[in-house]
Amino acid sequence: MVDKKIQKLIVRAVFIMALLGSHPVLANVKQLNIVYLKLVASPTTTEGFDGVMLAINESNIAGKFLQQQFKLRHFEAEKPQNLLQQAQQLYRTGERFFIINGNESLLFQLDLWARDKDVLLFNINESSDRLRNDQCLPSVLHTIPSHQMKTDAIAQWLTKMKLMNVLRLKDPNNTSADLLAAFERSARRFGVNLIDADTKSGVRSDALFVSSVEQLNDDRLKMLPRVGAMGLSAFSWHLAIKKWGAVQLKSRFKHLAEREMNQVDFSGYLAGLTLSQAFFHVKSTDSTSLIAFIRSPQLVLAAYVGHPLTYRPWNGQLRLPMALVNGNMMVSQSPQRGSHHRENILDTLGVDRDNSSCVNKHGVFDES
């Protein structure tokens, strides 16, 4: 008697062969080209690229039946200027979609170059709030969460747990000023009372916000629950996420990359997924049509995090829930249950439309 597992495999194989027989690959396959640009650090890694590659590989499987395929080109350089020159050269050969693993300076330079062109850039690595609220890059979509999205997620949880008095521990080297500034905005937004750790206020402290992983020498501070860069931290993706099909995505990624998927890999995956969903819907490689669809409310991503994901029209940020993780344990997810927003609950994380300096600044974001 044939084993049931073998029977299932045979049925599946016959079904796939039937599909392939009824959907022959035609000579006029449409191909969408995607460029991955990385500002190289030392040592170089495949972080981010592997996530894009997973999305492309999976999209090419589905694309066989639609006569569509994706091609990914990969370029690295040590200086932003070299990557800018590479993007300019590739644009002249017809490339229009660029996934960027780089810093704030590189993204700003690329956006300045791209503003009068039918070009779309994806930021998969840089969390700077300046890119999303001061500089307002009109050619960039952000699939990595901003600093304030992370700190808003933590502040929501602190409020939910009634941990309202938080000691603020400043980084003596000032290497994490952006994260600390983001948490200060989040505290004002959600009513968390901040207390400087080097002052005696007489108020009982409920938690300690740490903006960097500096050594804590004060035994009194070590007794407090930590949030921020240590202790309870916020991530768009983490090994601790096990619901919503996340285990299957992690397994597929590990099979490809032979390591665990991290937040930058997930951001790369989301950028690739965005382009594949647009291509499948528009059924054209016309960049103007693809960009219009991606920026429209019609694009909704299902991405294993329990919420449908869309891009904010005012600053190009992908709306994302945040996993709150301590060590390798998922403690909670923000937005917290009971949170409210008149349009989208995910807009309780990060700069909302009403507080954004980007609305109507370039005439390209605001959908109203």
Name the residue ranges covered by the structural domains of the chain. Answer: 31-145+238-321, 149-235
Taking residues 98-112, report their average pLDDT: 97
Q: Measured between alpha carbons, how far is 108 from 135 in angstroms, rounded to an integer?
A: 8
Q: Which residues have C-beta within 8 Å of that of residue 309, sequence separation ≥ 6?
A: 270, 300, 301, 302, 303, 318, 319, 320, 346
Ranges 3-7, 125-129, 344-348: which has the least confidence: 3-7
Q: Measured between alpha carbons, how far is 202 from 196 in angstroms, rounded to an integer?
A: 11
User: What would the pLDDT profile of 229-249 be if each residue is shown by its tens digit?
Assistant: 889 999 999 999 999 999 999
Select 31-145+238-321's CATH number: 3.40.50.1100, 3.40.50.2300, 3.40.630.190, 2.40.50.320.
3.40.50.2300
pTM of structure: 0.89
Q: Measured between alpha carbons, how far is 38 from 242 in angstroms, rounded to an integer?
A: 30
Sign of CA dihedral 352, 357, 360, 362: negative
Q: Which residues pair with 218 in a beta bridge?
A: none
- The predicted pLDDT at position 353 comes to 87
User: What would the pLDDT profile of 252-278 be if each residue is shown by its tens digit?
Assistant: 999 999 999 999 999 999 999 999 999
User: What would the pLDDT profile of 140-184 be if each residue is shown by its tens digit?
Assistant: 999 999 999 999 999 999 999 999 999 987 766 666 789 999 999
What does the mean pLDDT of the chain come to?
Answer: 88
User: What would the pLDDT profile of 41-91 be if each residue is shown by its tens digit?
Assistant: 767 799 999 999 999 999 999 899 889 999 999 999 999 999 999 999 999
Taking residues 277-304, report their average pLDDT: 96
- The predicted pLDDT at position 367 comes to 47
Q: How many CB atoms lie within 10 A of CB 40?
A: 15
pLDDT band, very low/low/confident/very high, at 366 (cuts 50, 70, 90)? very low
Strands 308-309 and 301-302: antiparallel
